[in-house]
A and B are shown apart, each in its own frame.
Chain A
Amino acid sequence: MTIGKLRKNAWMTFVYILLLAGAAASLAPLYWLVRSSFMSLSQIFILPPKWIPSPFRWSNYTKAFSVVPFGRYYLNTALIVVGVVSGTVITSSLSAYAFARLCWRGRNVLFACLIASMMLPFAVTMIPLFVGWSRLGFANTYVPLILPAWFGGGAYNIFLLRQFYMTIPRELDESAFVDGAGYATIYRRILLPLTRPALIVVGMFSFMGCWNDFLGPLIYLSSSSLYTVSLGLRMFQGMYNAEWHLMMAASAVALMPVIVVFFIGQRYIIEGITLTGIKG
């Protein structure tokens, strides 16, 4: 009995050590970023390294904002994010309703096509899309970044929402149907409110995906006044590549919104990943 208990204690100690080491590995880089962003350049290089900045130098942030117009880039990115998130939530919800609840010719074929398209490397469609948007005169605008989100919001989101629809009892909409409600009413009055948690997940994933997107803006946006935060940060790196304290402050600026959104909605996000078994 005691030997068993001893072994169990040893095992649990091992488990905790593993978890704490993993947590430290996850958090240390972020902590190092924040720490360095409040230091002067000379303080950063002190050996052995200091873990807490003293004094706190907020001026790194004002400096970062003054050399690269991050305020402007925040607004630019926010504009794209609003367009993408609303398009994604609205159209993926409509499509998921059709796939989960309605019977129509070609449904299964289209659904299989959408699922298969998740495997397609973005590199395959990247060039023709770029050429197409350029021909239409939309290069260097936000149209190529926003408009596609209004066409179904991506196969992943449709799939996630469809999975969620499947968990809602069909009797609910069937009884409404018998009572004479039309499809639009059933969707709006019954399913839309019930799928709210899943819609929040879709909204958050698309917010984070859009805020973090690098390749899209990199390809389409050429004038620096249109840049997003990610592109601004990249530009900043080119200008100040040895001034680590400023680079870390600029990175923290780019990081802030996603961290805030994540902490507001992290419960939903974890549930969303668990529901589909796919990470965002």
Chain B
Amino acid sequence: MTVAGTKPQTRKAAYAARENWVGWLFALPAALGFLLFTLGPMVASLFYGFTDLTISGKWGFIGFENYARMFSGRDNYFYKALWMTTQYVLMSVPMKIIYAFLLAMALNQPVRGKSVFRTIFYLPTIVPTVAISMIWLWLLNPDFGLINQVLRGIGLNTKGLKWIYDKRSVIPSLSLMSMWTTGGITVVFLAGLQDVPKHLYEATSLDGGGAWARFRHVTLPMMSPTLFFNLCTTLIGSFQVFSEAYIMTNGGPDNASLFYVFYLYREAFSFTRMGSACAIAWVLFIIIMAVTMLVFKTSDLWVFYQAGEGGKA
């Protein structure tokens, strides 16, 4: 904030100094919060990763032992958890994004009851995770669940369809379930679609472009920043999936839904190996950063920014 230009130099400096400490005062809660609850624990976590800290608080320095145990495969579950989580991410992220984008596209047409639909799509995202898990435990029940009943109703044989109770189908089932709470992404997509300038569509139509051309050459490039953003946040979120598996499958059957954070939780709170859990957490952090970086790197190829140059429209 600048004080009116007529003020003498010294008063200006006094104002700036005052604003400097007032600013810090207002931001103090956030600054302390960052220090105490983010940066401090982060550094501590990095440090504990090199110790054998237990739940009682005793620790000794053990160097890279925690990491060696993970990567050497001496801990049977590390690669398993990594692989299962990767499968879940690869399945659920595209499913969620595409489904949300489709719904947002449909909502962006001149339809009636737009805000009612939008509310309905958003509604599942506010349901507590534990309740979501209960509902889907019930829906996916092989014998009495609604889904298998409907499938049987239309004449399909659901004998082998055990959803979360079969190690081959547990990950696809949980991915399918994750689509139910995609409403937040739908709302963001819709907001983005509503910001696409109308004249671009009109120009494409004048050039003889049909619906596909309008989608391919206007909607997709104009939406690519929003797509990019949603892709990043959904990726980061999906790597950290925990509660669903904890409540619904307890990581099973046969550890087929032992998600990474669940594996970490077990290490910390069932086996009380806190130091090892910190190392596990840091590996997750590095994986998430690497994946996000990769997405950022490829974004030059497909994300189009209106103001910038070199857009691939």
Chain A: residues with CB nearer than 8 A to chain B?
Answer: 11-12, 15-16, 18-19, 22-23, 25-30, 32-33, 36, 44-45, 47-49, 91-92, 94-95, 97-99, 101-107, 110, 113-114, 117, 119-132, 134-135, 148, 150-153, 158, 170, 173-174, 177-178, 183, 187, 208, 211-212, 214-215, 219, 229-230, 233-234, 237, 244, 247-248, 250-251, 254-255, 258-259, 262, 266, 269-270, 273-274, 277-280
Task: Assess the A103–B188 pair: CB atoms within 8 A.
Answer: no
Q: With A and B bound together, what is the CA distance between A15 and B251 in angstroms?
A: 39
Task: Given A22-B121, A126-B281, check contact A97 B111 (CB 8 Å).
Answer: no
Task: Assess the A274–B117 pair: CB atoms within 8 A.
Answer: no
What distance in Å separates the Cβ of B145 from its nearest Cβ neighbour in chain A?
A: 9
What distance in Å separates the Cβ of B188 from its nearest Cβ neighbour in chain A?
A: 5
Find chain B residues with CB under 8 A from A170 CB: 1
**Of B31, B41, B144, which is within 8 A of A132 by CB?**
B41
Report if B90 contacts A (CB, 8 A). Answer: no
**Of B27, B53, B103, B192, which is within 8 A of A22 by CB?**
B103
Task: Assess the B135–A26 pair: CB atoms within 8 A.
Answer: no
Task: Assess the A104–B19 pair: CB atoms within 8 A.
Answer: yes
Report if B123 contacts A (CB, 8 A). Answer: yes
Report if B37 contacts A (CB, 8 A). Answer: yes
Task: Assess the B128–A114 pair: CB atoms within 8 A.
Answer: no
Chain B: residues with CB nearer than 8 A to chain A?
Answer: 1, 3-4, 16, 19-27, 29-34, 36-42, 44-45, 48, 53, 57, 102-103, 106-107, 109-111, 115, 117-131, 134-136, 138-139, 141, 144, 146, 149, 153, 180, 183-185, 187-188, 191-192, 211, 226, 229, 233, 236, 239-240, 242-243, 247, 261, 264, 268-269, 274, 277-278, 280-282, 284-285, 288-289, 292
What distance in Å separates the Cβ of B54 from its nearest Cβ neighbour in chain A?
A: 10
A91, A248, A279: which has the most chain B beta carbons within 10 Å? A279
Q: With A and B bound together, what is the CA distance between A266 and B128 in angstroms?
A: 17
Task: Assess the B278–A128 pair: CB atoms within 8 A.
Answer: yes
Q: With A and B bound together, what is the CA distance between A35 and B271 in angstroms?
A: 41
Task: Assess the A99–B27 pair: CB atoms within 8 A.
Answer: yes
Task: Assess the B184–A18 pair: CB atoms within 8 A.
Answer: no
Find chain B residues with CB under 8 A from A124 CB: 41-42, 45, 278, 281-282, 284-285
Find chain B residues with CB under 8 A from A123 CB: 240, 261, 264, 280-281, 284-285
Find chain B residues with CB under 8 A from A229 CB: 128
Q: Which residue of chain B has its CB nearest to the CB of A278?
A: B233
Task: Assess the A110–B34 pair: CB atoms within 8 A.
Answer: yes
Q: With A and B bound together, what is the CA distance between A212 and B181 in angstroms?
A: 14
Task: Given A26-B120, A211-B128, A273-B188, check contact A120 B149 (CB 8 Å).
Answer: no
Task: Assess the B277–A150 pair: CB atoms within 8 A.
Answer: no
What distance in Å separates the Cβ of B244 from its nearest Cβ neighbour in chain A?
A: 10
Task: Given A123-B264, A279-B188, check contact A19 B23 (CB 8 Å).
Answer: no
Q: Is the interface of B mostly helix, strand, loop or mixed?
A: helix
**Of B22, B38, B122, B191, which is within 8 A of A120 by CB?**
B38
What distance in Å separates the Cβ of A280 from its nearest Cβ neighbour in chain B?
A: 7
Find chain B residues with CB under 8 A from A251 CB: 130-131, 134-135
Task: Given A102-B26, A121-B239, A125-B45, check contact A16 B135 (CB 8 Å).
Answer: no
Q: With A and B bound together, what is the CA distance between A254 and B16 in angstroms?
A: 51
Q: Which residue of chain A has its CB nearest to the CB of B39?
A: A113
Task: Assess the A215–B187 pair: CB atoms within 8 A.
Answer: no
Q: With A and B bound together, what is the CA distance between A183 and B20 in angstroms?
A: 12
Find chain A residues with CB under 8 A from B53 CB: 131
What distance in Å separates the Cβ of B280 from its nearest Cβ neighbour in chain A?
A: 8
Task: Given A25-B180, A244-B144, check contact A103 B23 (CB 8 Å).
Answer: yes
Task: Assess the B131–A254 pair: CB atoms within 8 A.
Answer: yes
Task: Assess the A26–B41 pair: CB atoms within 8 A.
Answer: no
**Of A102, A208, A214, which is within 8 A of B130 by CB?**
A214
Find chain A residues with CB under 8 A from B130 CB: 214, 230, 233-234, 251, 254
Find chain B residues with CB under 8 A from A49 CB: 146, 149
